[in-house]
Structure 1
Amino acid sequence: MKKLITNVALAVGVAGVVGLAGTAVYAATTATSELSQTINAGVLSTDIRDTGDSVVTNPTFAMNATTASTSAQTTTGTFGANDKRIAVDNPGGANNGWTLTLNATTPGTGKWTSGSNTYQYNGNATTGQLTVNPAAGTLTSMIGASTGITLGSQAAFSGTSPVTLISAAAGSDDVWRGYVTGVGLSQAIPAGQAAGTYTLPMTQTVAAI
């Protein structure tokens, strides 16, 4: 009986050895890699955009109508409306801050013009002067925070100097997109100015600091 048991045990042992000898055993391994993605800075820009964020072509901002007078007078208006937003897009193009300014398209020499009739935007209460009040407007951030981004102070045009609408400090978000609406306008009109529909071409400029 012992011999039989031994033989059975040996037979099982031999079968086990054969099985191991015919099987390849591999150790588990891993391999690592790294993906690379470059995001380049975009270009700082400004436009006038509508509620659908499309650029408005040939936008016009009408001052309140007035009546010709033998006395000097003042009319008011608004620069920037919900459907004509004064927009700035900074996709990392200005990391140390930026400014948005407004000026006549031909600084210093531009005039309110209706046919052959003109008056100044950068003179005085007698000859004509345009005052801009950015602080009366509303600043809206679409991308990024408004921290460090401020509206300019009220200022009148003089000489060739522009008026600052928005200033972004160096500590403001490097990637920001937003707009301002409701900037106040006030124009002094000379006494005796002839009736007509006057226009004054303006240009807004955004520049990195």
Structure 2
Amino acid sequence: MRFLKKLGIGAIVVCLFGVPATAYAANTINIQLTQTILSGVLSTGFQAGTTAGAASVINPSFNMGAITTSNAEQTSHGSLSDNSKLLYVDNPGAAANWSLTVGLASTNAGWYRSSDSAKTRVYYANGTNAQGNLSINPAVASVTDLNGTSRAGTSMALGTQAKLSSGNNAITIMSASGNATPGLWRGGIAGVALSQIVPPRTPAGTYSLDLTTTLTQT
């Protein structure tokens, strides 16, 4: 007789014991950044509006009031700089002393026919009343702080009315002097008044005069 022997297989129990993980110390590295900020450069120009980032206006033109031919002296009025073609000063380097002037593009510059490429002078901007003379009055202009800057507490001031002459071909529009804490400033100057005496018997036509702005750190 064959005997079958059954072997009972008991449950296999596996015990897993946690093995402690290796401990590591924190590794900290200090980092230092270095930033160099260079002093900005004093500059001037014209921009299209009063908002930050307004586009530059290259070689802007401004119209004087129309007059008619006459046997007597006449005066034509105009304005230099407006909010669409705004004259500005940018002082990102906080220069304490500077001067902005407007004057003739050259000592021999005068009013010439706009169609004349040679720019032959017909009448003067820096002569006698009989020759023609331009008066510039920055005192009536308005000044607007731009880009969130402020001129409060500074000695910036508009210039006074003056005439161009053979010995004075440029007029001070605005200046700053002796600012202990001038600050970084950008500002627009609008509405500089212009008055041109036109000589008697000046022929009818359209005339132009070339001016330049100059910003000087003094």
Q: TM-score, normalised by structure 1?
A: 0.80
The AA in structure 2 aligned to 1:96 is A
Mapped partners of 1:67, 1:38: distance in 2: 60
Match of 1:139 among 139, 143, 159: 143
Structure 1 unaligned spans of 5+ = 1-22
Match of 1:154 among 155, 161, 184: 161
Two-structure CA RMSD over aligned residues (Å): 2.3
Is the contact between residue 91 and residue 176 of structure 1 (CA under 8 Å) also seen in structure 2? Answer: yes
Q: Match of 1:110?
A: 109
Residue 198 of structure 1: how far off its partner (Å): 0.5
Is the contact between residue 71 and residue 192 of structure 1 (CA under 8 Å) also seen in structure 2? Answer: yes
Mapped partners of 1:191, 1:200: distance in 2: 18
Residue 112 of structure 1: how far off its partner (Å): 0.2
Q: Percent identity at matched positions?
A: 38
Mapped partners of 2:35, 2:178: distance in 1: 26
Residue 59 of structure 1: how far off its partner (Å): 1.0
The AA in structure 2 aligned to 1:144 is T
Change (3 A) 1:40 1:102: same
Q: Secondary structure of the equivalent of 2:139?
A: helix
Q: Match of 1:6?
A: none
Residue 43 of structure 1: how far off its partner (Å): 1.4
Q: Match of 1:13?
A: none
Change (3 A) 1:198 1:76: same
Mapped partners of 2:42, 2:59: distance in 1: 21
Mapped partners of 1:66, 1:50: distance in 2: 29
Mapped partners of 1:125, 1:117: distance in 2: 16
Residue 148 of structure 1: how far off its partner (Å): 1.5
> Are 2:92 and 1:91 aligned?
yes
Q: Match of 2:79?
A: 78
Residues 68-89 of structure 1, C-alpha deviations (whole Å, 9 max, x = no match)? 1010111100001110101111
Residue 117 of structure 1: how far off its partner (Å): 6.2
Mapped partners of 1:46, 1:150: distance in 2: 16
Q: Secondary structure of the equivalent of 1:95?
A: coil
Change (3 A) 1:73 1:135: same
Is the contact between residue 117 and residue 194 of structure 1 (CA under 8 Å) also seen in structure 2? Answer: no
- Show the 5 A alignment for 1:23-38: 34-38=32-36
Q: Secondary structure of the equivalent of 2:207?
A: coil
Is the contact between residue 100 and residue 206 of structure 1 (CA under 8 Å) also seen in structure 2? Answer: yes
> Are 2:100 and 1:100 aligned?
yes
Is the contact between residue 145 and residue 173 of structure 1 (CA under 8 Å) also seen in structure 2? Answer: no
Match of 1:43 among 28, 41, 44: 41
Mapped partners of 1:57, 1:80: distance in 2: 13
Q: TM-score, normalised by structure 2?
A: 0.77
Change (3 A) 1:200 1:121: same
Mapped partners of 1:84, 1:170: distance in 2: 30
After TM superposition, the structure 1 stretch with the greater mean CA deviation from structure 2, 60-69 or 167-176, is 167-176
After TM superposition, the structure 1 stretch with the greater mean CA deviation from structure 2, 179-188 or 147-156, is 147-156
Structure 2 unaligned spans of 5+ = 1-21
Q: Match of 1:198?
A: 207
Could you say which structure has the higher helix fraction?
A: 1
